[in-house]
């Protein structure tokens, strides 16, 4: 859960504005994912907010903390799904902008995934 929510927070924060659509998309994914749905919604929100607060404190520290959590995801299938979720969150408001795409590229690099397969 930690790596997934860190990635979601990183993408949602990429352009400096965390939109309600992005939060709704993240929560919808948490509730629908078999492995993540076992977590309490309030706990998920706390973890997401922790990463958002890290970004608010200092952008580089926030990014470092998020990438550290993301880097713990070792399963390639889980990693690829996470990148798809991140793309979906970036596009949730109807505009998958360049800042969000760059953020997802950094997540791909951390996970050792080729960005080409996601059109990035």
Give the pLDDT mean for 42-50.
Answer: 88
Averaged pLDDT score across all residues of the chain: 88
For the whole model, what pTM was predicted?
0.85
Give the count of alpha carbons within 13 A of 63, CB side only: 12
Contact (CB, 8 A) for 86 and 99: no
How far is residue 52's CA from residue 5's CA, in Å, rounded to a whole number? 10
Please determine, for residue 37, whether its predicted confidence score (pLDDT) is greater than 80. Answer: no
**In this predicted model, what pLDDT tens digit does every residue of 84-117 receive, in sequence order?**
888 988 888 888 889 889 999 999 999 999 998 8
What pLDDT shows up at residue 89?
86
How far is residue 44's CA from residue 79's CA, in Å, rounded to a whole number? 19
Look up residue 83 and give its two tokens.
């990148």
How far is residue 120's CA from residue 78's CA, in Å, rounded to a whole number? 18
What pLDDT shows up at residue 111?
94
Largest CA distance in the chain: 35
* Percentage above 70 pLDDT, the chain: 100
User: According to CATH, what is the number of the domain 2-118?
Assistant: 1.10.3680.10
Contact (CB, 8 A) for 76 and 117: no
């Amino acid at each position: 859960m930690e790596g997934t929510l860190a990635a979601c927070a990183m993408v949602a924060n990429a352009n400096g504005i965390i939109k309600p659509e992005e939060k709704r998309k993240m929560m919808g994914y948490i509730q629908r994912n078999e492995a993540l749905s076992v977590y309490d919604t309030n706990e998920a929100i706390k973890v997401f907010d922790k990463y958002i607060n890290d970004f608010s404190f200092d952008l580089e520290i926030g990014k470092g903390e998020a990438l550290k959590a993301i880097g713990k995801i070792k399963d390639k299938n889980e990693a690829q799904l996470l990148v798809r979720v991140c793309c979906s969150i970036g596009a949730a408001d109807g505009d998958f902008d360049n800042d969000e795409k760059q953020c997802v590229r950094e997540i791909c690099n951390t996970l050792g995934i080729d960005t080409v397969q996601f059109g990035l």
